[in-house]
Chain A
Amino acid sequence: MNIHLRLDPLRLAFLAAACLFGATAPALAAGPPLRVLLFSGQNNHDWKTTTPKLRAILTGSGRFTVDVTEHPEQTTAETLARYDVIVSDWNAWGDAPVKEWPPATRTAFLDFIRGGKGYVSIHAGSSSFYDWPEYQQIGGLFWNLGPTSHGPPHEFPVEFVGDHPITRGLASFRTTDELWLKPGMHPAAQLVATGDGQPLAVTTALGRGRGFALLLGHSAEYMNTPGFQSLLLRGTEWAATGEVTLRGAGDARGLDADTVIRRVAAYRFGNDREALLALEQLVQAAAADAATRSALAAKLASALAAEASTDGKRALLDGLSLLGSAAEVPALARALTDAELLYHACQALARIPAPEAEAALITALRTTTGSARATVLQALASRRATSAVPAIARLVTDADPDVAAAALDALGTLGSPEATAALQTAENQIAPALRERWAAALLRCAGSLRAEGKTHEAATLFAALARPGRPASVREAAFPAYVGLAADAAVPDVLAALAGPDPILRRAALRALWSNRQPVLLKAAVDGLGVLSPEQQEAVLLLCGERGDASLLPAVTRAAASPQPEVRRAAVKTLGLIGNASAVDTLARLGDTGSDEDQKAVVEALARLRGSGVDAAIRNALEAAPPAGQRTLIRAVAAREDRTAAPNLLAVSRSPDPAVRTEALRTLGRLADTSACAPLVQRLSQATPDDRERLEGALVEIGRRDPAVVPLLAQALTGAPPVTAASLVGVLGALGGSPAFAAVRQQLPSDQPEVRLAAVRVLADWPDAEPLDDLAAVVETAGDARTRAIAARGLSRLAPQAPARAARAAEALAGALATTTDATERTHLLSAVVGIPCLASLKAVQAELSNPALTIATAAGLLGIGEVIYPWHPAEVKAALADLRRTGPLSPELAKRADALTARLSQPANFALGGLASSPDGIEKDGDAHGDQAAIDGNPDTYWDEQDHQPLYRLRVQLRQRSTLGCLRILGFSHQNYAPKDFEIRCDDRVVKTVTDAAYTNNWLTVAFPPVTCSVVELVITGAHGPSPAIRELEFYAEPPPKP
């Protein structure tokens, strides 16, 4: 509950506005409105915003008139006699100034109710007078000091209880508001609605009177929903009359026209627009049928004439704009005189086709001034009111520039011969500031003439508008239009303009080229390309491309040699679009020179060339071209995906130019098939290291596309020279897969050291743990240190992927360590072995402790292993720790870790650590949670959680190592909230314990079960405290640990 009052100046401003708006009551055709007295002026809530809102909702419905009193304590029997129902937004909570009502008020209040009237309280509106039993009885719901509480406003479901006229037919809904938990409820009150299970709305009775209490409405912002408004309106109506006729908000369909119109007439900005929507729906429903259309239009027109709010009238006008006809024009014409309605009235008159509407607007031209007049002009233009030309023409010289401009625009829009003539006649009277506007209007007239086929008149007018002295914007548009109509005859004009001194015409001529499709025009421009500015040349060339006219090819080809980069590039682009095989040579030559950007343009152009023979021409050009050109051509081959070019590419891949070789081999990789493999393999032995890399890259690319390559390369390994074999092993490694693995493995015993090394290298990088045993064997047997080091690195990389075989890897490394003396190699081996935490690695590292050259890394490695494996090997870890301490004083950091480990060893071990958590229930993670692993990461700040309200959740932990367990412990999310409640514990998929209604203590739950040895533990959760079971920590023990 909100105990302080906020006074926000904006809200006060609104209050003032709302009071003004509230001055007129809606005119009710059927049944008088119900009269509401709204109690306000004191409340521990923000009554200054809630009261206007309540009032707006009530009056907006059209069913109520509302008066507000800010001094309910001054109410008398006489005042109350004028009302049907009291709505209370008032209370005497806390240290409010008014704590009591005088006895006379109390009596008047009770008599009012008992006599058969109504009382409604909103939110805390009845939280007063706790020692006044009748008040409590009629109030029904109140804040009960002590038991009642609330959290922050949030969303919750509202459900209805039983069958009551107020809620009948309403659908339950969700809303956001402050929700009172355990509110005080009078024993005689009848519950009609709950919020998340808490009492939310009740009806009450006192004498012959009725009460309705609604706890929603903590502040004005929560009163905007249909749910709140339906309950307020229907509850108030019921309290006043004992009946409900109002429909729920959000359900306007089916209301009769009169009711809708009445409500629209009462509508004010800020109210719910339900009535407006209802009107829109009525209008649309009526639109389909002529008879209903005119009947409704007539009703709207008469409502417009009657008393209604401005906002309501605007809505009525909008309705008329869709339905209206000549009959409604007089009503609309009257609306034109109201500045606040002008916009909507103009819209209606512009939309109604009847000539009467046009006449009304023309009349309005005389009666309006300024911007209203301009708005009318716009409406005339919008309805293409050609009959208005004389009236409009008079206004082009109006003293008000907005009016004159709107008149010019309107004539331009109308574009009729009369409008054109009127504009021409007015030429010399136009204000200088409006000359551009005038010319633009005339330009549009010329456009209309053209559209009507009056070619000659249009051309003459366009030509006149293109002359110097006219505004540049109009000349630039008029010239191309003129050219379009004058056709071929305008060619000399265009050429003169293009190269001429008048910059406006130069630009206009360019527009003329783009907007007119006569081939002769473009041809002429292309022929005269040399005299044009680079920018113009660029434009003309691009236009050639767009037109796709191959006859322009020679000129475009010439332009491709231009020294101007933009021109060159435009020519190249165009060549690509209109060229054919014959353009290959030109382009290839261009590819020789020029910047990277030029070359890119050339490649793109080559890629786009159409027609037969292009690919062949490119292939032919390829071998003879100089290196730069070759590179360009190769890229073009790649872009065109010309697979037949493989032999040509193979040929140029021997080019003395390394860049060409690179390009050719890369493209071979992308295009060639297995047939290219043999020649590529053959070249491996002689190639420079760089080239070998390129060859290998190509082979890998081909192999990625075609599985036939691996067997081919495997075969090629036999008898291959060592360099080749080593290369092939690398390629096979990059390709991967079992056949490649088998082939590489076979090379392990090779008597060529470089081949062996290559094989070990490949296996050490293998993506899965398959080569683990092979690498272990290499570590144990290989004669040279480098090979062993690589294999050792591979082992430590692969071991975590195969926990079951990790010990084998660690043993091999341990063995090697024992026999190796070389310091560097020992370092490699040690760092590999500490990466595989298991008993064997512990032992191996422990043995190192006696080495006088002991390093901090080794000591840290030992601790690292111990930290992981101590749950399963406590004794061994303890012994190793003791050995470690014997080596002398540890660095502070290591000492801290050693102490922590010692401490952990003295406590029961959590076997969940180091495991792998997953959640195979297919439920999406909760947005804020940290994933499955968070449940067993030893960090209580992170947690596992999934989406709410699912029937079944699963959390599965693959233990690091088979373990014997007898107990499980859960750290829940928050107290008992969001914690697993009903679940099964399964070990290796066997149920070992079923937990129901789990009770957590200080957030912890400990569950013991008969000891079982297993590798996987799973929780199958069917119930949670709260919407979902979140787990911060899940721990497994051999026996129950002491309380945390």
Chain B
Amino acid sequence: MTRPTLRPSLTMNSLSRRRFLRQTTLGSATALSLPTLLPASVFGANAPSQRVAVGHIGVGGQGRGLMDGFLGLPQNQSVAVCDPIQERREAAAQRVEQHYAAAKGQDVYRGCRAYADFRELLARDDLDAVVIASPDHWHVPLALAAVRAGKDVYVEKPLGLSIEQGLALRAAVHLHGAVFQYGTQQRSFNSHCGFACELVRNGYLGELKAVHVVAPNGSTGGRAVPQPVPAGLDYDLWLGPAPVTPYTEDRVFGTGRWFIYDYAIGFIAGWGAHPLDVAHWGYPHIPVEYRGTGRIPTEGLFDTVVDWDVQGRYASGVEFTLKTGTDKTTFVGTDGWVAASRGGISAAPESLLERKLKPDDVRLLRDNHHYRDFLNGVRTRQTPVSDIDSAAQSDFMSHLGDIAVRTGRTIRWDPATETILGDTAAARMTRRAGRAPWAA
């Protein structure tokens, strides 16, 4: 092969606009009067120029929580927020500015802009990364736009509205070499989930026999009565890629965003993401067969599966189940079992819990702070602990379980081609339309 060359124009002498902005606008109000190329040491270890400039897309319940967490980290500099709900984006921007004003001992601090339209936020070239905490139907369209704009992404769970979306985002993350962190914080914010997985990975349970996953059940209900769109909400933007349907409060401000099929597939993914994430961490494979039962509610507004009971198996023969209940991932091996949930860990024999890893053992635990792990990844390009490959696989498990329930048939998944085998209707369900111009 003859090597195409980059030589002729490899050097570019002017400082890029992006870096320039980062060094000038992110500092204190006085930054503009400083020379633009100060060595980092002048600011000390956490000079603004070394901080990661972050934009927050979606500042509802979870987005605000994330934002507060990011604000507490010295590696972070939040510079923008975005939400189609005016009150939320303004409050969030205000919170950021108050935070930095207090941190600097100033009365006022300006430096966080509020956007309604994420495209304006992404167009900023002084932004390194975005945190996406929109409703689920927006995750992939937003993340794709961000990755294609050269940003690194922290994306809330569950990953996508369809398997196709997960594949698309994964391809884009890899193509761009973007740093991606999935919002499955149990990989960092406690150590027992990782420890349980380390026990499995290092064979301390003997030969693995079964993986049992339990996630909290979804809800039924929601008022299906059209209402006027409240002032300050850009409902069309909120809907984005989803089909246009009459506004009702429960879609946007109730729990509808989690339980309406246009925006989510329900807690089988919304909550399932967490214990399934642990399942995939401990046993990094995807079941190849799924069958299950569940109920699709017909009253009220919500129409995503509840009471699911999915059974399946991995190619290795390991058994897989996904049911409703208190969140938990149980790995059963020939020499014992270990069960991890958000709240804690249990095992039999109990001595497993005392097990110390040997220097040669596989370690999974990383930073004990999920957001810092992401920010450090943005700086060093190291892949954070909840990577896109694993995120896609655990999300696919939710989708395949849902498809098994909805079709009432046994679904066979081919991990090599990532397609559903021998069932055209089910295979068609892996793709969903999107309303322009928002689709993935």
Residue positions of A touching B, CB distance < 8 A: 10-11, 13-14, 17, 221, 224-226, 249-250, 269-270, 272-274, 276-277, 280-281, 283-285, 287-288, 314, 321-323, 340, 343-344, 346-347, 350-353, 371-375, 377-379, 382, 402, 405-406, 436-437, 440, 443-444, 447, 455-456, 459-460, 463-464, 466-469, 471-474, 476-477, 479-482, 486, 489-490, 493, 496-497, 500-505, 510-515, 534-535, 538-539, 542-543, 546, 565-566, 570, 607-610, 614, 640-641
Contacts and interface: CB of A to CB of B under 8 A. Distances in A.
A274 B298 contact: yes
Contacts of A501: 11-13
B219 to A, nearest CB: 14
B359 A283 contact: no
A566 B409 CA distance: 54
A710 B433 CA distance: 73
A277 B19 contact: no
Nearest to A545: B382
Contact of B436 (A270, A372, A443, A566): A372
Contact of B431 (A350, A443, A455, A467): A350
B70 to A, nearest CB: 20
A818 B224 CA distance: 82
Contact of B175 (A249, A373, A406, A481): A481
A473 B149 contact: yes
Which 9 pairs from chain A and chain B are nearest by CB? A473-B150, A374-B436, A347-B433, A287-B425, A539-B380, A375-B436, A511-B177, A502-B12, A477-B176
B9 interface: yes
A614 B358 CA distance: 12
B19 to A, nearest CB: 4
A493 B3 CA distance: 12
Contacts of B429: 322
A539 B381 contact: yes
A455 B3 CA distance: 10
A500 B10 contact: yes
A497 B10 contact: yes
Contacts of B223: 221
A226 B299 contact: yes
A486 B360 contact: no
B245 A269 contact: yes
B359 A535 contact: no
Contacts of A489: 3
B419 to A, nearest CB: 13
Interface string B1-34: 1111111011111011011000000000000000
Contact of A13 (B3, B148, B227): B227
B379 A539 contact: yes
Given A287-B425, A607-B359, A347 B12 contact: no
Given A372-B436, A500-B10, A272 B164 contact: no
A570 to B, nearest CB: 8
- Chain B binding surface SS class: loop
Contacts of B356: 641
A269 B429 CA distance: 23
B437 interface: yes
A322 B296 contact: no
A615 B149 CA distance: 50
Nearest to B1: A456
A406 B382 contact: no
B437 A351 contact: no
A280 B382 contact: no
B68 interface: no
Most buried by B among A11, A323, A503, A504: A503
A285 B406 CA distance: 10
A270 B437 contact: no
A468 B125 CA distance: 16
Contacts of A535: 50, 379-380
Contacts of B151: 473
Interface in B166-194: 171, 175-177
Contacts of A482: 4, 6
A924 to B, nearest CB: 16
A614 B359 contact: yes
Interface string B417-440: 000000111101101111111010
B228 interface: yes
A502 B431 contact: no
Contact of A456 (B2, B10, B435): B2
7 contacts: A375-B435, A489-B3, A503-B18, A511-B381, A535-B379, A538-B379, A546-B382
Nearest to A10: B227
Given A477-B177, A511-B177, A534-B40, A503 B298 contact: no
Nearest to B151: A473
A502 B10 contact: yes
A322 B298 contact: no
A382 B437 contact: no
Nearest to A614: B359
Give the interface size bracket for B toward A.
Answer: 35 or more
Given A375-B435, A505-B10, A607-B359, A273 B175 contact: no
B202 interface: no
B45 A565 contact: yes
B94 interface: no
Most buried by A among B221, B227, B423: B227
B243 interface: yes
A405 B437 contact: yes
B105 interface: no
A86 to B, nearest CB: 26
Contacts of B4: 456, 459-460, 463-464, 482, 486
A571 to B, nearest CB: 13
Interface string B276-300: 0000000000000000000010111
Given A269-B226, A500-B10, A343 B243 contact: yes
B26 to A, nearest CB: 15
A262 B296 CA distance: 21
Contacts of A321: 428
B380 to A, nearest CB: 4
B428 A322 contact: yes
A374 B141 CA distance: 15
B298 A273 contact: yes
B303 interface: yes
Contact of A351 (B148, B428, B434): B428
A346 B433 contact: yes
B156 to A, nearest CB: 22
A406 B436 contact: yes
A604 to B, nearest CB: 11
Contacts of A250: 298
B407 interface: yes
B71 to A, nearest CB: 22
A931 B363 CA distance: 45
A270 B40 contact: no
Contacts of B244: 340, 343
Contacts of A460: 4
Contacts of B348: none
B91 interface: no
Nearest to A539: B380
Contacts of B2: 456
Contacts of A468: 9, 12
B3 A17 contact: no
Contact of A608 (B12, B225, B359, B434): B359
Contact of A610 (B359, B407, B424, B426): B359
B296 A277 contact: yes
A473 B6 contact: no
Nearest to A278: B298
Given A343-B244, A480-B177, A493-B7, 14 more contacts: A14-B226, A17-B246, A226-B298, A250-B298, A344-B433, A378-B436, A443-B175, A468-B9, A472-B18, A472-B125, A473-B151, A477-B175, A477-B176, A479-B6
A13 B380 contact: no
B408 interface: yes
Nearest to A474: B150
Interface in B201-241: 221, 223-228
A538 B434 contact: no
